[in-house]
Amino acid sequence: MSRKIYYIQAMQEGLRAAMAEDDSVVVIGEDVDRSIIGATRGLVGEFGEDRVRNTPISEATFVGACVGAAAVGLRPVVDLMVGSFFYVAMDQVANQAAKLRYMSGGQVDLPIVYFTATGPSGSGAAQHSENPHPMLMNVAGLKIVMPSTPYDAKGLMLSAVREPNPVVYFQDFVLGGTKGEVPEEPYAIPLGVADVKRRGTDVTVVAIGATVPKALKVAAALEKEGISAEVVDPRTLAPLDTDTILESVGKTGRLVVCDSARLTCSAASEIVATVTENAYGVLKAAPQRVAWEDVPVPFSPVLEKRVLVDEDRIRAAVMKTLA
């Protein structure tokens, strides 16, 4: 029977299940023994310091070291703490982990999970509020997941750890304290499979990460006005389940894409381009993108709110497709 638990607890349950089934899974990162975010808290007492290792505050060092560890048989799960820190270790992620399996002709597996809390957390300011998933989507060789619910967080974590290729696992900061139904037993959600969170017939809303609950609230409100919105959560951004998205747009003829990242070169832009290229003939209106403003995330709470995706902007985009 399912229970309602927090997103962070669900992540930890998925990680714990992966560690219990495979002794080669190790957790490495900054303060993973106490875990400020909470996803690795308590694991050191259960699995020991050999498998849960704190590191110095040097992301490039431990991210790079885990490429070597994965190449020789371990399955490192690397806690980068904050999404902005990917920039510090970009060479190790994009130029080493993402390419080594290809450059070795498939002789070397790279089973690494890089996970991090990402996006604004409430006045985290510009250097601690990034959501770099669009940039990493452009790096061939990486798989990218971004769960929006506790249920997805647990199942995608277990699948990510089992994956023989590098996986980047984004946990949107603002979702960490949300609750949802999660089975007690381990389960895996396949990478690359989207989920239709709400069925509808008038417009397709593809929502990513923290925009999913906002899109669902908008859809519920629109239903009272006689507008039926279908909400699709990709869950995995690379590989992207384009079939599910195209099937939905084929039914509704309208598309709005909501992304927790800047508008330019966003995941929203890629999804709109894909739909326009493959389903232009069924579109009844121009697709709409709802994403962050193209500026650094401000420290000011008022300005931060202005930059990010909110329900009013999602609603306005939906209504524009219906005009």
DSSP three-state, residue 34: coil
Where does 173-254 show beta strands of DSSP type E?
179-182, 195-198, 203-207, 229-233, 236-238
317 touches 290 (CB < 8 A): yes
Q: Are strands 203-207 and 236-238 parallel, antiparallel or unpaired?
A: unpaired
- Across-strand partners of 165? none
Gap between the Cα atoms of 276 and 283, Å rounded:
8
Q: What is the dihedral of CA 60, 61, 63, 69, to 10 degrees?
A: 150
Q: DSSP state, 123?
A: S
Q: Which two tokens stand for residue 155?
A: 């199942």
Distances (CA, A) of 297 to 44, 157, 215, 268, 284: 34, 28, 21, 18, 34
| Element at 169 (helix H, strand E) | strand 167-172
Instruction: Give the number of residues written for the chain.
Output: 323
128 is catalytic: yes
Catalytic residue among 51, 101, 128, 235: 128
Gap between the Cα atoms of 187 and 196, Å rounded:
19
- Across-strand partners of 77? 27, 113
Distances (CA, A) of 213 to 14, 32, 89, 143, 172: 22, 29, 31, 23, 12
Torsions phi, psi for 38 (to 5 deg) = 115, -10
| Element at 171 (helix H, strand E) | strand 167-172
Catalytic residues: 128
